[in-house]
Amino acid sequence: MKKLWCHVFAVLIFCSTLTAQPARTKNLRNASYNIKVTLNAQKKQVSGTETITWKNITNKPATDIRLHLYMNAFKNNYSTFIKEAGEKSKLLSKKNRWGWIEIREITDSYNNNLTDKLTFIHPDDNNSEDRTVAVVKLARPVLPGRKIILNIDFTTQLPAIYARTGYYKNFFMIAQWFPKLGVFQKNGEWNCHQFHRNSEFFSDYGIYDVTVNVPAEFKVAGTGNIVSEVKKGLTKTVVFHAEDIHDFAWTASPDFLTKEINYRGTNIKLVYEKDHSSSVKRTFTAVKHAMDFFNSWAGPYPYKNLTILHPPTGAFRASGMEYPQFITAGTFWNIPANLRFPELVTVHEFGHQYWYGLVGNNEFEEAWLDEGINSYYESKIMDKYYGEESSIINLKFLKVGEIVNARNTYIGNTRRDKTLRPSWTYIGGGYSLFSYQKPVLMLKTLENIIGTDLMQKIFRTYFEQWKFRHPGTENFIEIVNKVTGKDYNWFFDQFLKNSLELDYKVASVISTKMPKPDGIFSDSTKIKLKKNSDLYYSVVKIHRKGEAVMPVDVLIVFDNSDSLRYKWDGKERWKKYTFIRDNKILYAEVDPQNKLLLDSNFTNNSRFTEKNRKATTFFSISLICFYQNLIQILSFIA
């Protein structure tokens, strides 16, 4: 959820001991972690041990293992993450508030010390100063179907709050903080990318048992179920347990307040500080809306726990992020009800419990599968419960809905890049547009073509078949084709795998009064023409300006309110419709219902006859001025 708040501001701004088991679990639980650490609140450090139990579920032997050391992204200004972040990295350098992770020792279950077998690699950009991926040569290969147990001693220095992790005063958001395995693939290669400014994560599922020791006055929340919480002297020990997940994050502060509700069999805990009390009810309402919708459009939320955190105001950079069974939302002090930022962020981050959490796509390489699909769900939920025209902002002078927001970003940028590519390789500023906004418009366009019922069936099928597994783009397209009974590869080839522009235009509408009969006619024709002396010859021309091809509706309306509707396959560069009628054409419109939300220019979709051009021009100029003013207002606010 790397860009959610950019997305927002672009608009403006367990049981007693076990987590319940999801039905029909397909997770092989091949990467499990037992972590025991202590938080040193003075040094801003977490240190301790972890035991990783990894099973090789491929038919290839593994001669080494690869580890993500995400916190080293904040180690110095030469890391790949910081270099890609540019000016934003100065937030860390002001008071030398860098972060890092160090593996002090690593051994296997055969008592082999592998510490000196650890080296750093940089598979994405050959940046020799990057330390976010380590490879450890094993003493013996892990054969197919066999397990290895690794014991790791490590220390993590937390940075000042940055990129959804770190500290602010006595608030700690501890995420991407422990050595974590990459994913060993069927081809016998590790998928373990460096940490980039615009990339997220990819890991296997497993069981997590995490014990954290914190100062006694601290309150702790995080992923999974709190099994026990024991105070002893000046410290407190909190034990977490979670199953069928692929990451673990937690938070701690002496200033937390909590509220809990139970909804659909899930205990929902909201963690916040007193400045954010006004958002409690709104947050619970939003997450209940999201759970209801996902229950219908994907499947039931399978866990017994969900924790939502509103970070304190000074730690706003911890907002808007997802972890299994734990999300960070975000709000402001007494934010007005008609500015729906708390709702939007809560809905979006809960959605990631499904798209990233339960369906574990590779966020490094195919970010649209979680961010794009999840943003599509966000748009549907926000529009359903808060109104299509005002689901994000509902002021008297300014109303903004999800689709308007997505199109405002998309218009003018359609050809800049394609959606299907590794997230760190987008053209500058393109990650948010092509991973979030364009997929929203693409999926909504597909829904408009095939119908809402089929679209719902597609996602329910996709969720059922791929929960606790790692799907790719082709798996999703295969399900679309199977559920619809049609081949939609042509659709995804144009708008997902390429950057073709879609733009249909009404080029001209002309109605000309026909001359009175003159010359030699057959008797029947002569009589007809005499009785209908005021006939009009009308011509409508539709142009395909873009390279993309889509079936499109054409509406032609006459001045007596009669109308004709045609379906054009849209393949040729132009299409002409001619008529001889006793009424002139009033106007013509292509895609009159705005089904093709990927169309880069709605302002050329309709046209009046030449006589009415003056009114049409005035309307177009007014519309353009409105959007220009809107963008200026939102830029100022952001």
Q: Which CATH number covers residue 612?
A: 2.60.40
Q: Count CA within 13 A, CB hemisphere, residue 227.
A: 15
Together in a domain, 182 and 76:
yes
Asked whether residue 574 is domain-assigned, the answer is yes
Final residue belonging to a domain, choices 158, 177, 204: 204
Nearest by Cα to 638 from 13, 186, 2: 13
Together in a domain, 440 and 511:
no
What pairs with residue 323 in β-bridges?
326
Together in a domain, 98 and 177:
yes
Asked whether residue 172 is domain-assigned, the answer is yes
Copy the structure tokens of residue 21. 């088991």
Together in a domain, 525 and 604:
yes
Together in a domain, 54 and 156:
yes
Asked whether residue 326 is domain-assigned, the answer is no
Q: pTM score, two decimals? A: 0.90
Q: What pLDDT is recorded for position 251? A: 98
Backbone Cα Rg of the chain? 29
Say whether 1 sits in a helix, a strand or coil. coil
Q: What pLDDT is recorded for position 334? A: 86
Final residue belonging to a domain, choices 435, 469, 495: 495
Together in a domain, 601 and 491:
no
Query: What is the C-alpha to C-alpha distance for residues 589 and 610, in angstroms, rounded to an integer?
Result: 14
CB within 8 Å of 110: residues ≥ 6 apart: 139, 140
Query: What is the C-alpha to C-alpha distance for residues 164 and 161, in angstroms, rounded to an integer?
Result: 7
Asked whether residue 285 is domain-assigned, the answer is no
Together in a domain, 93 and 141:
yes
Q: What pLDDT is recorded for position 26? A: 56
Query: What is the C-alpha to C-alpha distance for residues 1 and 345, in angstroms, rounded to an integer?
Result: 10
Copy the structure tokens of residue 233. 């002297």
Task: Describe the chain by its helix, strand, coil percentages, rounded to 5.
Answer: 30, 30, 40
Distance of CA 598 to the CA centre of its chain: 18
H or E, element range at 508: strand 504-513
Query: What is the C-alpha to C-alpha distance for residues 319 and 331, in angstroms, rounded to an integer?
Result: 8
Helical ranges in 485-570 per DSSP H: 489-495, 523-531
CA distances from 157 to 43, 278, 323 (A): 8, 34, 20
- CB contact at 8 A, 448 and 384: no
Asked whether residue 152 is domain-assigned, the answer is yes
Final residue belonging to a domain, choices 495, 515, 538: 495
Copy the structure tokens of residue 300. 């039931």
Together in a domain, 109 and 174:
yes
Asked whether residue 216 is domain-assigned, the answer is no
In terms of residue numbers, what domain contains 126? Answer: 30-204
Phi-psi region of 224 (alpha: psi -120 to 50; beta: other; left: phi over 0): left
Q: Which amino acid is at 245?
A: I
Q: Are strands 171-174 and 266-272 parallel, antiparallel or unpaired?
A: unpaired
- CB contact at 8 A, 405 and 6: no
Together in a domain, 72 and 177:
yes
Q: What pLDDT is recorded for position 15? A: 34
Together in a domain, 488 and 527:
no
Query: What is the C-alpha to C-alpha distance for residues 155 and 101, in angstroms, rounded to an integer?
Result: 6
Asked whether residue 338 is domain-assigned, the answer is no
- CB contact at 8 A, 267 and 282: no
Copy the structure tokens of residue 252. 């701690």
Q: What pLDDT is recorded for position 212? A: 99
Please tell me the total count of domains within the chain.
3
User: What dihedral angle (degrees, nearest 10) is formed by the CA atoms of 463, 468, 470, 474?
Assistant: -20
- CB contact at 8 A, 157 and 40: no
Together in a domain, 632 and 526:
yes
Query: What is the C-alpha to C-alpha distance for residues 590 and 613, in angstroms, rounded to an integer?
Result: 17
Copy the structure tokens of residue 335. 């934010």
* pLDDT beneath 50, residues of the chain: 5-25, 527, 530, 614-629, 631-638
Q: What pLDDT is recorded for position 157? A: 98
Nearest by Cα to 630 from 439, 404, 448, 311: 404
Q: Give the residue carrying structure tokens 């038919």.
A: 59
Q: Are strands 225-232 and 266-272 parallel, antiparallel or unpaired?
A: unpaired
Asked whether residue 196 is domain-assigned, the answer is yes
Together in a domain, 79 and 172:
yes
